[in-house]
Amino acid sequence: MPTQTSSVSRAPRPSSLADVLDLILDKGLVIDAYVRVSALGIELLTIDARVVIASVDTYLRFAEAVNRLDLTDTETAGIQGLTAEIGESGARSKVRGALEGAKEMTGHNGHDRERSSAGRRRSSDS
């Protein structure tokens, strides 16, 4: 199989403090009555890192970005072209076969989704 140029960066562990905190202060088993964290400033940091509320500034930034684009060479392939491109690399049949083999498993995939309400707030605002 030919070597593919990939744009995946890898790390064995989270590299940023925010990502570490997201794991160990926000996930995992917790016994409420026995939590003894003294974390001045930590709560704000995690909120800053995780919650982004759509704001006027964001909208203005989007507007500014779209206004300065030269739309004549717009590419619209998007991820919809993914299947075809993977197919070209010879992996299509493998992926399809694996998907068929995993039909039973896909039932629980995507359920229990964690979704930041703030992260989707924009859709209700717009």
Q: What is the size of the binding site for another protein (CB under 8 A)?
A: 85
The one among 18, 44, 47, 126 contacting another protein by CB under 8 A: 126
Window 86 to 105, contacts with another protein (CB under 8 A)? 86, 89, 91, 95, 98-99, 101-102, 105
Binding to another protein by residue 110, rule CB under 8 A? Answer: yes
CA separation, residue 6 to residues 24, 57, 82, 89, 90 (Å): 30, 34, 14, 13, 16
Taking each helix axis from N to C end, the angle separating 17-24 and 42-50, rounded to the nearest 10 degrees, works out to: 100
Residue 26 near residue 18, CB atoms below 8 Å: no
For the CB of residue 78, give the shortest distance to another protein in the complex, in Å.
6
Residue 119 near residue 52, CB atoms below 8 Å: yes
Binding to another protein by residue 2, rule CB under 8 A? Answer: no
**Looking up tokens 């300065």, which residue turns up?**
68
For the CB of residue 3, give the shortest distance to another protein in the complex, in Å.
10
Window 26 to 85, contacts with another protein (CB under 8 A)? 26-39, 42, 50-52, 54, 56, 58-67, 69, 71, 74-82, 85
List, in order, residues 6 or more apart from 106 with CB less than 8 Å away: 99
For the CB of residue 89, give the shortest distance to another protein in the complex, in Å.
6
